[in-house]
């Protein structure tokens, strides 16, 4: 994959799957803009990669617009990867059988689904304004869902709904952006070895790894990044959600 001269934007690029992806895209020659929260390690990552850090909350239209502008100043924006996300669990009912506060549900939908939509909308507008490549293509947007979009566990109604939404909007957006030569593909990772998961006790991590049919371990961030690279490279992939999960199907809990 040769992205020399192209610009790439990675949300959530300061950590986990986004960080691994930013590293791969930079190694392929892209000028990488890390979009992450101001308190994240985004500035250090950008310095490591010789890229830019655009501190932004993906739910904020103004901040995302500024981040897209930063990325567009570095070259034609050809690759956008949405990795920003949160996953706090919350059941629908608490121990007393009362509904848990609606704010928790709203927050996850806002960051994971509305935040992804916001970045896709603003970045695709900038991509559509670039000169196309010789084949008419202008680039690719990769979103991150989760296997929870299909087999959500107890405690994941908000997370599963947010990721189900990311999956569901992939096709209509790919259909709409086809006229600009912009592809849209979503990855649904299984259980990946990132800070989001590494907070769990080792025994819990081992038990999760053992639930994966093969290979019987957690997924590695670089395996996600390699799939992004393949998606960028393979121009016929479009409008699809790809599971990256070692064949795991999540149990109810």
Other residues' Cβ atoms within 10 Å of the Cβ of residue 64: 24
Closest CB to ligand NAD among residues 111, 227: 111
Q: Is 159 a catalytic residue?
A: yes
As measured in angstroms, the least distance from the Cβ of 35 to ligand NAD is 6
Closest CB to ligand NAD among residues 118, 130: 118
Q: Are 163 and 112 in contact (CB under 8 A)?
A: yes
What is the token pair recorded at 165? 């939404």
All residues at 6 or more sequence positions from 12 whose CB lies less than 8 Å from its CB, including other chains: 18, 35, 36, 82, 83, 84, 85, 144
Closest CB to ligand NAD among residues 27, 150: 150
H or E stretch covering 143? strand 139-144
Q: Are 248 and 211 in contact (CB under 8 A)?
A: yes
Q: Are 177 and 125 in contact (CB under 8 A)?
A: no
As measured in angstroms, the least distance from the Cβ of 26 to ligand NAD is 17
Q: Applying CB under 6 A, which residues contact ligand NAD?
A: 11-12, 14-18, 36-37, 40, 57-59, 83-87, 111-112, 115, 144, 146, 189, 191-192, 194-197
As measured in angstroms, the least distance from the Cβ of 97 to ligand NAD is 29
- Active-site hit among 159, 180, 214, 236: 159
Q: Active-site positions?
A: 159
């Amino acid at each position: 994959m040769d992205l020399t001269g192209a610009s790439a934007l990675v949300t959530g690029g300061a950590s986990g799957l986004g960080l691994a992806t930013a590293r791969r895209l930079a190694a392929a020659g892209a000028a990488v803009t890390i979009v992450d929260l101001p308190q994240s390690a985004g500035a250090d990552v950008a310095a490591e990669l010789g890229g830019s850090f655009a501190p932004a909350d993906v739910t904020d239209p103004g901040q995302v617009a500024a981040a897209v502008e930063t990325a567009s100043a570095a070259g034609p924006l050809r690759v956008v990867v949405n990795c920003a996300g949160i996953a706090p669990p919350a059941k629908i009912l608490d121990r007393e059988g009362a509904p848990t506060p609606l704010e928790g549900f709203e927050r996850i939908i806002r960051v994971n689904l509305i935040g992804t939509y916001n970045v896709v909308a603003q970045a695709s507008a900038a991509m559509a304004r670039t000169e196309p490549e010789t084949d008419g293509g202008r680039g690719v947007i990769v979103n991150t869902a989760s296997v929870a979009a299909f087999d959500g566990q107890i405690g994941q109604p908000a997370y599963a709904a947010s990721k189900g939404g990311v999956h569901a909007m992939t096709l209509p957006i790919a259909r709409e952006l086809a006229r600009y030569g912009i592809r849209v593909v979503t990855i649904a990772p299984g259980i990946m070895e990132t800070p989001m998961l590494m907070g769990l006790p080792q025994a819990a991590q081992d038990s999760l790894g053992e639930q994966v049919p093969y290979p019987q371990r957690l997924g590695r961030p670089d395996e996600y990044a390699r799939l992004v690279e393949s998606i960028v490279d393979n121009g016929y992939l479009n409008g699809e959600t790809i599971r990256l999960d070692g064949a795991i199907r999540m149990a109810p809990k």
